Amino acid sequence: MQLDLSGRTALVTGSTQGIGYAIAQGLARAGARVAINGRTAERVEEAVRQIQQDVPGAEAIAATADVTTEDGTAGLLEVLPRVDVLVNNLGIFGAQPAMEITDDDWRRYFEVNVLSALRLTRAYLPGMVKRGWGRIQYIASDSAVVIPAEMIHYGMSKTALLAASRGFAKEAAGTGVTVNSVIAGPTHTGGVEKFVYEMVDSSLPWDQAQRQFMREHRPQSLLQRLIEPEEIANMVVYLGSPLASATTGAAVRVDGGYVDSIVP
């Protein structure tokens, strides 16, 4: 497959580390000009340098902005008025007993995980439609379908992304712009390592801790291991490419078989 995104500009929110960084790296390998986003200029610049080191010849630019706020998004749009591939990756997660999730917690998860993506979609979709080509993706989670008892607020936010993705795909119908969600399964990132150790014995070596976590807390996984960020990125790059022109309004799973369903 020739996943060629030469001449296209991609924005990946929350891309200084983890899944977001892997996606940005994958898009750069496919030839896209990639905007690295984060709230701290130092971390963004470091990620830009790392992309350029990992992908010789890559064109990566800094897009420092807090996209969870209207002002931050407005500043980003001044720096990056046009985007061809928008990957709404930014998200927060954490375990919390259901009855202890406060109104402020619910608002925070919605504003960070959902509203930031909707705001950017509204900003960039009209330009994509006018040009007759574009790709918008929402990085969802298996938690959107299999709501975890220990983080209902997170699951709620990811379910909302599935609805938003399907709805905006209808808005973009017939325009050459596709809108999809990627349902990512349990993935190996620094944040997830911390989360795993919150759920199992923190004195265990990582390999044992990971196996115990999957066995006790994610037994549905057919992969029986955490997914690597690059494995999520592979799907995102494909969906962002011209080869995925007939895939829209979909929730595509990269979940290691976690969701027990024969339909996407």
Residue 218: predicted pLDDT = 87
Residue 264: predicted pLDDT = 75
Question: What is the spatial distance between Cα 172 and Cα 165, in angstroms, rounded to a whole number?
Answer: 11
Q: 257 and 222 in contact (C-beta within 8 Å)?
A: yes
Q: Which single residue is written with the structure tokens 């990971």?
A: 210
Q: 220 and 253 in contact (C-beta within 8 Å)?
A: no
- For 37-94, the pLDDT digits (tens) are 999 999 999 999 999 999 999 999 999 999 999 999 999 999 999 999 999 999 999 9
CATH 3.40.50.720 range(s) for the chain read 9-186+229-250
Low-confidence ranges of the chain (pLDDT < 70): none
Q: 151 and 132 in contact (C-beta within 8 Å)?
A: no
Catalytic sites, residue numbers:
154
Question: What is the spatial distance between Cα 178 and Cα 198, in angstroms, rounded to a whole number?
Answer: 38
For residue 226, the 8-state DSSP code is: P
Residue 263: predicted pLDDT = 84
Residue 134: predicted pLDDT = 98
Residue 146: predicted pLDDT = 93
Question: What is the spatial distance between Cα 58 and Cα 5, in angstroms, rounded to a whole number?
Answer: 12
Residue 3: predicted pLDDT = 94
> How many CB atoms neighbour CB 263 within 10 A?
6
- The DSSP H or E segment spanning 122 is helix 116-131
pTM: 0.95
Residue 191: predicted pLDDT = 82
Q: Does domain 9-186+229-250 have CATH number 3.55.50.30?
A: no
